[in-house]
Amino acid sequence: MISAPTPPAEGDQIDTTDLPAHVAIIMDGNGRWAKARGLPREVGHERGVEALRKTVRAAQDLGLSHLTVFSFSTENWRRPVKEVNALFGLLRLYVKQDLKRLISEGVRIRVLGTRVGLPTDILALVEEAEVKTAANDTFNLCIAFNYGGREEIVRAAQTIAADVAAGKLEAGAISEDCFSTYLDTGNLPDPDLLIRTSGELRLSNFLIWQAAYAELVFQDVLWPDFGAKHLREAVAQFQNRERRFGGLATGVA
Ligand code: FPP
């Protein structure tokens, strides 16, 4: 008996000439992953860093150029001190352990979010990572850490107001494009694909200006279990969407 050929998995049908310019990920579900195994939440975050490493590799292999991940939100300060400290510790470890390799791979690192409230050693590490990778352009990794979309917008508005008061900017010259350059994402392309893991269906204050026209993909996988397969599936879903940006579908008069 001849069996029917297995259809290729959705993630295998990727058009590498039509990749999203910028993929953003809300890495959700570390706590639930740990709880399901009777482990402390911090272990879930540790496994989350492993998933992040795999995902950066997969994004590079796929030919993506910009990846932004949500690592610590301005609202995450409400968590127990032990968990907040664990997340700070993981950022320290990630930069210390991976920076050399990321530099050699041509990765440019940017850390998005407010620096207010961050410990001085983290500020120094963030600065080191940004400065040492500033000339790289093969792949852009943005780590949103101590990040909140509304806080970012308010901070941009304050800088704009200061520039107008100082005579550096005309109030009438504040366009959407101009405003965007004042955000932490500066001149980066807007994310056109935003993925959230763990089945939750929210943006949670992540890139709320930049994601205005992003295609949203929600996946039923807890972040520590995320890998190349899930990234490819999300990109395949993105490529199957019709993007109209408020216009009409192709062929509709
Ligand atoms: C959300 O899961 C995840 C976070 C708040 C932190 C994400 C952080 C990492 C993946 C690792 C840190 C990486 C670096 C580079 C610092 P959750 O804890 O809310 O999970 P839950 O909804 O299941 O409780």
Mean pLDDT for 239-244 is: 87
Could you tell me the pLDDT band of residue 123, with boundaries at 50, 70 and 90? very high
Which class in CATH covers the domain with range 23-148+190-239? alpha beta
pLDDT at 253: 60
Q: Would you list the domain boundaries of the chain?
A: 23-148+190-239
Q: Does 30 contact ligand 1 (Cβ within 6 A)?
A: yes
CA distance 210 to 188: 10
Task: Compute, in angstroms, the gap from residue 31 CA to the centroid of ligand 1.
Answer: 7
The Å distance, Cα 30 to ligand 1 centre, comes to 5
What's the CA angle centered on 64, arms 206 and 137, to 5 degrees?
95
pLDDT tens for each residue of 52-99: 999 999 999 999 999 999 999 999 999 999 999 999 999 999 999 999
Query: What CA–CA distance (Å, rounded) separates 117 from 179?
Result: 25
12 catalytic residue (yes or no) = no
pLDDT for residue 251: 73
pLDDT in tens, 108-118: 999 999 999 99
Name the more confident of 12 and 232.
232
